[in-house]
Chains A and B, each alone.
Chain A
Amino acid sequence: MRTKLLLLTACLLAACSSRGDAPLLATDVIVTRSLPGMQMSAGYLRLTNNTQATITINRVTSPDFGSVEMHESSLENGIARMRALQDFSIPPGQTVRFERGGKHLMLTRPGEDIDTVTLDFFADDTLLLSITVEPERVVE
């Protein structure tokens, strides 16, 4: 099992990018810029597993924020709810979407003068993917 994980990790880190053939591919990445006076941003993206094995991510961190939590919003009978996700899995060949009104990243306690945001996705202590984007304003 450990060998399998190491192999997968080596494979993923060898191609942690937005290249179409990357084992774990991140696309449509959006991190909102914190509103004035607020200590919070949201992250949205699509993660595609191009490998033959299920990938489970249970931790996301950012050097640009004090905390990153994986959340899931839902609307049931007109009631908006939000709950933490402990982990999520991406089956082989499948894409998991983090989108408005659904799974999303909640980033809190931003650092000062953030020009770019780096997000690191982990399986336990193993870094599977690192991406960097420019934050977007919520209202233009």
Chain B
Amino acid sequence: MSPSNKLRFLVLVTAAVAGAWLSFRMHAPVAQPGTATVLAAPEVLPEFSLLDQHGQPVGREVFYGHWSLLFFGFTNCPDICPTTLQVLAAAKRELAGQGFKTVPQIVLISVDPERDTPDIIGRYINHFGDDNLGITGNLEELRKLTDGLGIYFAKSPVAANTGNYSVDHSAVVLVINPRGQFQALFSTPHTIENFTDDLPIIMAGN
């Protein structure tokens, strides 16, 4: 084979390989989350004004510029809330350990602002990681956010005549994208694998 034919042959082979690769990429199935529900059209968060763990006012802008895992709970919840936060913290650690540069911030918004002061929610949420965010504040402002997101919560007596109360609340974990939009949600039961499997897909698809 002459040098010019050899070159022509190499160009043809390269083009064929590139074409095949391009065709594969174009027709390859897009990965879908296994358990999370992704909204067809992300929703802008309602406006609200609450307080972070330092007592500083925060609104929906606090979600801008990074991914967030948003959970509504309360610090006097001995079982489901710490268990959920433990799962989120472990999932974050695992994603970071796998080399993901983008890991979401864990955000706990209290549904028990009567007992959860900024200081209390701050000490609580800091236990589950360094860069977590705790939010509490005025009940009316909290309602603006929860009503807009379809999050339920209600005070409920634990036992008759004790004066002690619990707060029934939605246990979903919401995924908020860096534009401050509600993009996806994880329903219960929460497992580390559900988050480590689906979060990279959700965040890559944004």
B77 to chain A, nearest CB (A): 7
Query: Is A80 within 8 A of B169, CB to CB?
Result: yes
Q: Chain B interface: which of A12-20, A21-29, A68-76, A114-122?
A: A68-76
Q: Does B114 have its Cβ within 8 Å of any Cβ on chain A? A: no
Count of A-B residue pairs with CB < 8 Å: 90
Query: Is A82 within 8 A of B158, CB to CB?
Result: yes
Assembled-state Cα–Cα distance A138/B77 (Å): 13
Given A71-B78, A139-B89: A80 in contact with B128 (beta carbons within 8 A): no
Residues 72-128 (chain A) with a chain B CB within 8 angstroms? 73, 75, 78-84, 86, 100-101, 104, 106-107
Hey, which chain B residues are within 8 Å of A100, CB to CB?
A: 79-80, 83
A107 to chain B, nearest CB (A): 8
Interface positions of A (Cβ within 8 A of B): 32, 35-38, 40-42, 69, 71, 73, 75, 78-84, 86, 100-101, 104, 106-107, 138-139
B130 to chain A, nearest CB (A): 12
Q: Is the interface of A mostly helix, strand, loop or mixed?
A: strand
B194 to chain A, nearest CB (A): 14
Query: Is B77 within 8 A of A82, CB to CB?
Result: yes
Hey, which chain A residues are within 8 Å of B89, CB to CB?
A: 139
Chain A residue nearest in CB terms to B126: A36
Assembled-state Cα–Cα distance A100/B85 (Å): 13
B174 to chain A, nearest CB (A): 12
Chain A residue nearest in CB terms to B82: A138
Binary A-proximity of B63-95 (CB < 8 A = 1, otherwise 0) = 000000000000111111111001001000000
